[in-house]
Structure 1
Amino acid sequence: MNIDNAQLEKLIEEGVPVIDIRRPEEWRQTGVVKDSHLITFFDKKGNYNVPAWLEKLAPIAGKDQPFILICRTGNRTGTVGKFLDKKLGYKKVYNVQKGITDWIAKGKPVVKPAN
């Protein structure tokens, strides 16, 4: 389900976890939404390892628990969110439609990533 910045803020206030699927160099370049879980999905070449990624997601959210996916512009998270929903049965996946670039452009806060 696509969401905008206002919906993102509301869900964060409700305690819904944010998963930033970008790469570490991207996190360092822009900063991240406070308290985001940093779990890279695609490497620089576009490769991915679904079982390894799901293993990192498991302690944060299960198939019936809501979570938010964010990337640079919403393209990667749109793809990943649809895959998690349609193929793997995750029912409460939120995609930040315009990604962190829009969040930053609207003056929303970011923090330095921990790693």
Structure 2
Amino acid sequence: MGLGGVAMADIETLSADTAYQMSQKGELVLIDVRTPSEWAMTGMPRDSVGATLQDTDFVARARGAVLGDLDQPVAVICKSGTRSTSAAQKLVSEGFGHVFNITEGMAGHLGAGDGWIKRGLPTDPFNPPDR
């Protein structure tokens, strides 16, 4: 439902393994919206971009991840699907045209799937920037 004739992009869901396969084929950009402490504990999904949802520059980081191309498909992931739902809604409201939500998250979510980690999908270590 759009207001005043403005169409809003639909937020689609993806399983963690489908998101991983698509990201490896270059079909989408994967954005991890968890916090740096969570990234440090579990690593980040392979080849993902970190953009913490609570940061004031969240949208700017997401735009940077797609090099300003808001038509580039993106998928967002968090621990269990709650923050990624909010992140997906935020990206759609900011003009991103093709947004996926990985509702099972990194740790799994009842009814949504086992999660990135339990599925054995690869992660990259989080290396905090030098201060």
Quickly name the TM-score band, shorter chain normalised.
0.7 to 0.9
Deviation at 1:104, TM superposition (A): 0.5
How much has 1:3 moved relative to structure 2?
A: 0.5
Question: In proportion to residue count, which structure has more helix?
Answer: 1
1:105 matches 2:118: yes
Distance 1:6 1:89 in 2: 26
Larger radius of gyration: 2
Equivalent AA in structure 2 for residue 112 of structure 1: P
Provide the aligned C-alpha RMSD in A.
1.5
Kindly, what percent of the aligned residue pairs are identical?
A: 26
Report the counterpart of residue 19 of structure 1 in structure 2: 31
Match 2:60 to one of 50, 55, 60: 55
Are 1:77 and 2:88 an aligned pair?
no
- Which of 16, 25, 29 aligns to 2:41? It is 29
State the alpha-carbon separation in 1 of the partners of residues 72 and 31 from structure 2.
13
Instruction: Render the CA deviation track for 1:7-55: whole Å, top value 9, x for unaligned.
Output: 212211221221111110000111111121111112xxxxx42xx2222
Between the aligned partners of 1:10 and 1:93, the Cα distance in structure 2 is 16
Aligned partners of 2:77 and 2:101 also within 8 Å? yes
What is the number of equivalent residue pairs in this alignment?
107
Q: Which has the higher contact order (CA 8 A, sep 6+)?
A: 1
Q: 5 Å matches for 1:89-100? A: 89-100=95-106
Long gaps (5+) in structure 1: 43-47
Determine the structure 1 residue equivalent to 2:20. 9
Q: CA deviation at 1:76?
A: 0.4
TM-score (normalised: structure 1): 0.82
Structure 1 segments of 4+ aligned residues over 2 angstroms from their partners:
none
Q: Is the 8 A contact 2:59 2:91 kept in 1?
A: no
Q: Matched residues in 2 for 1:69 and 1:14: separation?
A: 17
What amino acid is aligned across from residue 27 of structure 1 in structure 2?
A: W
